[in-house]
């Protein structure tokens, strides 16, 4: 079943000129980014570049100071539950599972935005509720099957090894039946095998017709996985293009190596700090005790 070849490409996510200021700090500055159907888009950039803040602006966790975010042609209200309902799901940089719930229960929690059964029906446990519950259970098990954790459905989330907790977070996000999945550093802390498995999982998600936007530090992972990559540096989008383009862009390389290039955002401050450090006696790291 390949729906992607017959379906025309459409814009799933359209973020335009998103700016997020915290007091005097501009964490994200006028960033525009689109994600199309069938695409896996990567968002890279050094620590503190504003990647997570940008995600938070997309998902309604933050109300952007400026700019707007549309999902499938409709402007999103900055409210997380409405964004989820609209069709965007996410995972977090720091795992947020219900540690004392089972694996299955964690996925069921992710389904509640898609269950039409209301509060009264749930409380009275009427026939509608029982039917909806059975359907939810079935779908949750299907998702656990998909990520390869069905055999651990009854385990407590906190007893899973780290890599499986990450996968479970993805299953919980998928339980809301999203059209776009946002992943914030999905392979952080994973070993190479787990990272490869995560790569396969994300390809499989894309093949199910879900567009993916992924933040990651692991360059090999990103350049393997993504159709398009955007690089944020100090809150600004520096480069965007194919993995090949971004990979060979000297400004991206410089940003990662920490060498400021001419005209780089923040290059002046970096130069100032370096000059001050060079001027200060006894701060040469090479002469310091390594411990
Ligand atoms: N809620 C907040 N309040 C104030 N500053 C914040 C907040 N969230 C993030 N920041 C700042 O915004 C900048 C970007 O952070 P972040 O988006 O987490 O970067 P990244 O995910 O690229 O590492 C950092 O300087 C960070 O300290
Ligand atoms: Mg982050």
In a mutational test of the pocket of ligand 1, which residue from 21, 26, 27, 51 has the highest number of ligand atoms less than 8 Å from its CB? Answer: 27
Name 44's Cβ contacts closer than 8 Å, sequence gap at least 6: 51, 215, 216, 217, 219, 222, 229, 230, 231, 232, 246, 252
Supply the pLDDT for residue 67.
97
Could you tell me the pLDDT band of residue 259, with boundaries at 50, 70 and 90?
A: low
Atom of ligand 1 nearest to the CA of 62: 1
Per-residue pLDDT reduced to its tens digit, 98-121: 999 999 999 998 887 666 555 565
**Closest among 22, 94, 99 to 57, alpha carbons compared:** 22
22 lines ligand 1 (CB under 6 A): yes
Atom of ligand 1 nearest to the CA of 53: 17
Torsion angle in degrees (nearest 10) through CA of 284, 285, 289, 291:
160
Could you tell me the pLDDT band of residue 34, with boundaries at 50, 70 and 90?
A: very high
Q: Is the confidence at residue 173, as pLDDT, over 50?
A: yes
Q: How far is the CA of 22 from the centre of ligand 1 (A)?
A: 9
Supply the pLDDT for residue 286.
42
In a mutational test of the pocket of ligand 1, which residue from 19, 22, 55, 236 has the highest number of ligand atoms less than 8 Å from its CB? Answer: 22
Domains of the chain: 11-87+178-279 (3.40.50.300), 97-176 (no CATH)
Per-residue pLDDT reduced to its tens digit, 177-188: 999 999 999 998
Q: Is the confidence at residue 53, as pLDDT, over 60?
A: yes
Joined together, the tokens standing for residue 117 give 């059964």
Which residue's CA is the closest to the ligand 1 atom numbered 6? Answer: 22
Max Cα separation, the chain? 77
Q: How far is the CA of 281 from the centre of ligand 2 (A)?
A: 34
48 lines ligand 1 (CB under 6 A): yes
25 lines ligand 1 (CB under 6 A): yes
Instruction: Give the position of tokens 């996000």.
Output: 173
Supply the pLDDT for residue 1.
46
The pTM of this model reads 0.83
Supply the pLDDT for residue 9.
83
266 lines ligand 1 (CB under 6 A): no
């Amino acid at each position: 079943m390949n729906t992607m070849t017959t379906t025309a490409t459409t814009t799933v996510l359209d973020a335009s000129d998103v700016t997020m200021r915290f007091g005097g700090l501009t964490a994200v500055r006028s960033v525009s980014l689109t994600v199309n159907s069938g695409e896996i888009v990567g968002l890279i950039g050094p620590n503190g570049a504003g990647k997570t803040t940008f995600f938070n602006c997309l998902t309604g966790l933050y109300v952007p100071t400026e700019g707007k975010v549309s999902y499938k042609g409709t402007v999103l209200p900055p409210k997380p539950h409405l964004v989820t309902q609209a069709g965007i799901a996410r995972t977090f940089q720091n795992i947020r599972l219900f540690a004392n719930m089972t694996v299955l229960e964690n996925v069921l929690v992710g389904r509640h935005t898609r269950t039409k059964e209301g509060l009264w029906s749930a409380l009275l446990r009427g026939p509608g509720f029982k039917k909806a519950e059975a359907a939810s259970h079935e779908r949750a098990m299907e998702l656990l099957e998909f990520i390869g954790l069905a055999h651990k459905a009854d385990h407590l989330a906190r007893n899973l090894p780290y890599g499986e907790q990450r996968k479970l977070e993805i299953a919980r996000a998928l339980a809301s039946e999203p059209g776009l999945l946002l992943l914030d550093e999905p392979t952080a802390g994973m070993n190479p095998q787990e990272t490869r498995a995560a790569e396969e999982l994300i390809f499989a998600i894309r093949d199910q017709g879900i567009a993916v936007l992924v933040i990651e530090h692991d360059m090999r992972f990103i350049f393997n996985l993504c159709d398009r990559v955007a690089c944020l540096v100090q809150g600004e989008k520096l480069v965007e293009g194919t993995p090949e383009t971004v990979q060979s862009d000297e400004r991206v390389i410089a940003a990662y190596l920490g060498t400021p290039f001419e005209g780089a955002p923040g290059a002046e401050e970096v130069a100032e700090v370096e000059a001050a450090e060079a001027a200060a006696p006894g701060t040469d790291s090479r002469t310091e005790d390594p411990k």
